[in-house]
Amino acid sequence: MKVAILGTRGIPASYSGFETAAEQIASRLVARGHEVVVYCRPHVVDRRLRSYKGARLVHLPTVRNKYLDTFVHTFLSALHTARWLKPDVALFFIAGNSPLCLITRGAGIPTVINVDGLDSDRRKWPAFAKAYLRFAERTAPRWSDRSITDSHAVADIFERRYGERIGVVPYGVEDPGHGGTETLERLGLEPRRYLLFVGRLEPENNPHLLVEAFTRIDRERARGMKLVIVGGAPYADEYIRQVMRAADPRVVFPGYVFGRGYWELQRHAYLFCAPTEVGGTHPVILEALAAGNCVLVNDHAPNAETVGDAGFYFSGKGGVDDLTERLGDLIDDPDLVGAYRARARERATRYSWEAVTDEYEKLLRAVRDARRPGPLPPEFVDAVAA
């Protein structure tokens, strides 16, 4: 089976969960004997890299603009797929790309789209962008052969909002086992003496909320803890400057950290905090669980679906006050934090990239074999995380 993956920034993963999913799924499909092509953006992936983990890479231009970057690159990718690549099936990521499914489907290519966590809910988008994204989300099931998301909670929201049930295949996690401390030493950190945030530095991920909550905890109670804010975001320079200005000297901003360094930070954190209030299954939460982190998350429904009883919650409605209280309580009780590390590892075993790839492989084959199939079979609706 020949599979094209469109809509992400490309692989190797160096930005977000979409790219991680593309890399993990592509490499595993290749290992199973399939041919996989991943479309890449030139400002993210080195043009000289023509293949990665067995997947062929196709580099196409785009427009470096917050509102046009993804759409323009995916539009060109869809044209290339339809005109020259002609795969057995096309796999799109991101709901905003759903109109472009018409290009591949119009060329007779069976098409699947992962709408992810309903991008229209993100506060970063102005009214016109939100309106477009709602339109793209609503029409995704009609313009693709199959539409899926990564969370049952998101599928529930989609059904209530648009009146149609879509399938669910969650993201997975793989612990590479990196346990060194070189990255900690470079950043002036000590094992179990820092709290960790990883994600795009955008308003709906609430790094500003976490920074404010942490700075409210006095130094004596914090017991020498630091807060490490890992990540960045294109087109969000002013917001990032605001977050940094609000931080006290105990907050460390290393920027993006990938690979071994990233896992070293996950492995040795005192706890991991994800205050995000939008999206579906966040890969960084899964990775925190797999690394044996005590996790504290916003009580956003998809976060609760991922963490279950293996972590702690603060009230999104309670905002910074509730987050400050929960952080303080956990800093005060290292024995409780330690006990939840074992729970986290156990929870992570439910999310295997091999099992996720099983579901994608079955789905892509089903779409390839039935150009316009009927309702999703139960195994896709109930998927891996059921």
Element (H or E) spanning 207, and its range?
Answer: helix 207-216
Residue 31: predicted pLDDT: 98
Residue 3: phi and psi, rounded to 5, are: -120, 130
Closest CA to 100 of 115, 120, 88: 115
Residue 15: predicted pLDDT: 64
Residue 122: predicted pLDDT: 80
Q: Which residues of the chain fall below pLDDT 50?
A: 372-386
| Residue extents of the structural domains in the chain | 2-172+352-382, 182-348
Mean pLDDT of the chain: 91
Tokens of 81: 């797929």
Q: CA gyration radius for the chain?
A: 21
Residue 371: predicted pLDDT: 67
Q: Which CATH class is domain 2-172+352-382?
A: alpha beta
What confidence tens digit (pLDDT) does each residue in 305-364 have?
999 999 999 998 889 999 999 999 999 999 999 999 999 999 999 899 999 999 999 999
HSE-up of residue 336 (Cα within 13 Å, Cβ side): 12
Does the N-terminal peptide bond of residue 12 adopt cis geometry, omega within 30 degrees of 0? yes
Cα 145–Cα 149–Cα 151 angle in degrees, nearest 5: 155
Phi-psi region of 94 (alpha: psi -120 to 50; beta: other; left: phi over 0): left
Residue 267: predicted pLDDT: 95
Which residues fall within 8 angstroms of residue 339, CB to CB, at 6 or more apart? none
Instruction: Tell me the fold of 182-348.
Output: Rossmann fold (3.40.50)
Separation between Cα atoms, residue 19 and residue 11, nearest integer Å: 6
Q: How far apart are the first and last CA of the chain?
A: 27
2-172+352-382 against 182-348: fold identical: yes
- Asked whether 290 and 267 are in contact (CB, 8 A), the reply is no
Separation between Cα atoms, residue 35 and residue 366, nearest integer Å: 17
List, as own/partner pairs, every contact residues 126-129 make where C-beta atoms lie below 8 angstroms and the sequence separation is at least 24, other chains included: 129/67
Residue that is written with structure tokens 């809910």 in the block: 121
For the chain, the helix, strand and coil percentages under 3-state DSSP, each to the nearest 5: 50, 15, 35
Residue 193: predicted pLDDT: 97
Helices 334-348 and 283-290: crossing angle in degrees, nearest 10, is 110
Residue 386: predicted pLDDT: 38
Tokens of 6: 């469109």
- Asked whether 336 and 295 are in contact (CB, 8 A), the reply is no
Residue 122: phi and psi, rounded to 5, are: -75, 135
What confidence tens digit (pLDDT) does each residue in 241-290 have?
999 999 999 999 999 998 899 999 999 999 999 999 887 888 899 999 99
